[in-house]
Structures are given as C-alpha cells and as structure tokens.
Amino acid sequence: MGNFLQPVIILFSLLVSTTGAVQVVYAQVGETVNLKPLELKKSHNYVYWKFMDLQLGWRNHFGGKSLTNDKAWNNKLQMTDDSLIIQDIQQENFGTFQVSVSSQSPLISTISTIILVKLEVSKSPASPLLPGESLSLHCSAEVSRKPEIYWLDPTGQRKTNNDGSFSTRVTGQHNGEWTCVVAQQKHVKMSITVVDLSPAPSHAQYTSTSMPVTIPCSLSPHITWEQIKVKGVEEVHWQFFPRQSSGVSAVKAQRLFFLSLESMLFTAEQNRDLRPVLRPTTGNFTLTRKQGREEDAGDYVCTVKFKNGVTLNSTVRVDVLQSKSEQTVQLFVALTSALRTFEVCLFFCLTCIF
C-alpha cells in the first residue's frame, strides 16, 4: 500500500489549489458524523482526507481507495463519494480536517477545511427531579471562538442565556424534551423528568346509584415507582372532604387510605367500601366501587409526600346524580354535545359562505 500512497501524497502537495471555506461541525463523544466538503465537483477524480498531519484516506475514480491504519482511527472511518463518515467519535478525533477534491484535466484541486468541535451537554442532577428542586443545564463547545448556544424548553420557547447555561427551580411544566441549539446548526436533545401526578380530570366525575364510581389518581406516565422511591417517598394517602347539605365541601377531611411502604398495599382507615387498585406499584392509586352512593359527593384528595417536604396532590370532585334528575341530566349532557356539534357545523358552513 505504501507504493500506492506515495504518488498520492506528492500529488497532494504539488497541486495548484484553490482554498474553500472553513466549516465548523459540532459533535458529542460517541456520535457519528458525516463530513463533506462544501464545494462539490461533479467530475472529481481524487479525494484525499487529512487530519492534522495524518493522511486519513483517499479514493480515486478507478475505484481505488485506502484508509489509515492509525490506532485512533481504526474501524471508525468510512468513505463514500465525497464524504468521510466517522463513527463513535472519541476525544482524539476532534480537530481540523482537510479534504482535497481534485480533477485531473484540468489539474485543479479544492482544499476545504472542516473543524470538528467537541460539544459537552449535561444536566444536573441526572435523576428525576421533584417540583421545587433546582436543575442546571449545560451545553458548551470546546473552541476558542464561542458560538451562540441556547436552550429551548419542552414547549419550544427559547431561554435567554446565550452561553449554553441555564438553571431554574423546576415545576411540572419543565418535564419533557429540552433542546440545546448550537450556532443555529446543531440540535441536541436532553430529556428532563419532573416527578408529578397525572392532572386530575378538569370537571367533576359523575356517578349515581346505578353507575360505578371511579376516582382516578396516578403518577404521570413517564414516572416509575422506583424513581419515586429514590426521591424519598414518605407517604401516599387519600382524603375525602364530603359535600355538605349547603353544597360546599367540609373543611375537615376523612382519611380513607394510606399506602404502607413496606407491604406496598393500601390500608383502609375509613374505606367507604371503595377499593384501591390491586398493585399500587404500577403508580396507579385509583379508587373504585361498582355503584355510587348519595354520600359519595365531595372532594377526594390523593397525596404523595416526600421526606424533603414536597407534597404532590390531585383533587377529584365527585358529583352524584339524584335518581329523579338523572335522566334529565343525561338528557342535558346529550343536548349540550349535540349543540356543540351544531355550532361546529354552523362555523364551517359560515366559513364556506364567506
């Protein structure tokens, strides 16, 4: 192979060359990148890649090609057409690359420079967070001329710091996929988990003496019981604030169930014949009964308490339809939804006309 390489190296240094633009490419350790010269010539005969002073590889239009045996690049490189693919990038692979694309007649070569810059992206802490805990995000490029770097929150809103650092006390809204944007060209995703309960239904749960009653409460879908344990869960319990004849909920609560952290089973204090789900370790704390009762009306509060004082709770309002008025209410519900459908139709008709 040495024989092959020799003329190539000579050619590389002898050519009258034009110099192309300098490109900066950002990557994290472990990533795969595809480096490509900016100016592509259709009729190129030779492509040579260099890293610092090391000849990485070349190929010609006869189908000949060669890649370096250097230890730092072994099994990492692939050459296709004009691009150099580097897999599983390590610290020693960051730096300046030069690619020379040449044609034989006329003898012209274009040399482009590509700087591969290391990106470091991290979050602290690495584990899920409780609301109120502080989160730090860092995103930095190992290069002297710092590019613009900023974070987008899970809703896509840009955070104001332009140096790649962002810190905040988290709320449930911070849960999700954050994105670090580097020099408007590289997007790195970072997933943040904030421990929370699934939001309670926004309107009352209806029941009646001829309907089952379900009082839902569960951890957000992305949270596991193991994660809750790591955060130092202290107590899970259900409280009930009965609706009084005046229509307002009582100030004093009845404790219904608490979860024993040893047995991982709900223990009843006043069970009101309600049944918790069988395996609360699935993160589902829902209570059910086959039939509703008049005295079920009120607010049910599901609470998860942590050792550091953080409390998550979710309040479910239950309304009981009186048997007499039940049909009326069902009719009312049906009418409301019919009316809404009609409104939508009307809207579309009007949109068509105007």
Least separation, in Å, of the C-beta of 337 and ligand NAG?
23
Amino acid at 133: E
Least separation, in Å, of the C-beta of 321 and ligand NAG?
20
Rounded to whole angstroms, the Cα distance separating 27 from 40 reads: 23
Q: What is the CA radius of gyration of the chain?
A: 32
Nearer to ligand NAG, 37 or 216 (CB): 216
Peptide bond into 216 cis (omega under 30): no
Least separation, in Å, of the C-beta of 295 and ligand NAG?
20
Nearer to ligand NAG, 191 or 311 (CB): 311
Least separation, in Å, of the C-beta of 296 and ligand NAG?
16
Q: Which of 178, 155, 151 is nearest to 163 (CA)?
A: 151
Site residues, ligand NAG (CB under 6 A): 218, 277, 284, 286, 288, 301, 303, 311, 313
Amino acid at 52: M
Least separation, in Å, of the C-beta of 284 and ligand NAG?
4
Nearer to ligand NAG, 188 or 274 (CB): 274
Pairing outcome for strands 108-124 and 134-141: antiparallel
Q: Which of 228, 208, 207 is nearest to 285 (CA)?
A: 228
Least separation, in Å, of the C-beta of 239 and ligand NAG?
6
Strand ranges, E, within 54-193: 54-60, 65-67, 77-80, 83-86, 95-103, 108-124, 134-141, 149-152, 165-169, 176-182, 186-192
Nearer to ligand NAG, 47 or 223 (CB): 223
Nearer to ligand NAG, 115 or 265 (CB): 265
Least separation, in Å, of the C-beta of 340 and ligand NAG?
26
Nearer to ligand NAG, 181 or 287 (CB): 287
Helix, strand, coil content of the chain in percent (nearest 5): 20, 45, 40
Pairing outcome for strands 134-141 and 65-67: unpaired
Rounded to whole angstroms, the Cα distance separating 300 from 253 reads: 9
Rounded to whole angstroms, the Cα distance separating 256 from 302 reads: 10
Nearer to ligand NAG, 74 or 311 (CB): 311
Rounded to whole angstroms, the Cα distance separating 142 from 164 reads: 12
Least separation, in Å, of the C-beta of 124 and ligand NAG?
24
Nearer to ligand NAG, 116 or 301 (CB): 301
Nearer to ligand NAG, 157 or 202 (CB): 202
Query: Degrees (nearest 5) of the Cα angle 115, 117, 120?
Result: 175
The H or E element spanning position 318 is strand 311-320
Provide the token pair at 103.
Answer: 């044609």
Least separation, in Å, of the C-beta of 203 and ligand NAG?
18
DSSP conformational letter for 29: T
Nearer to ligand NAG, 175 or 303 (CB): 303
Least separation, in Å, of the C-beta of 313 and ligand NAG?
4
Q: Which of 104, 144, 116, 109 is nearest to 20 (CA)?
A: 109
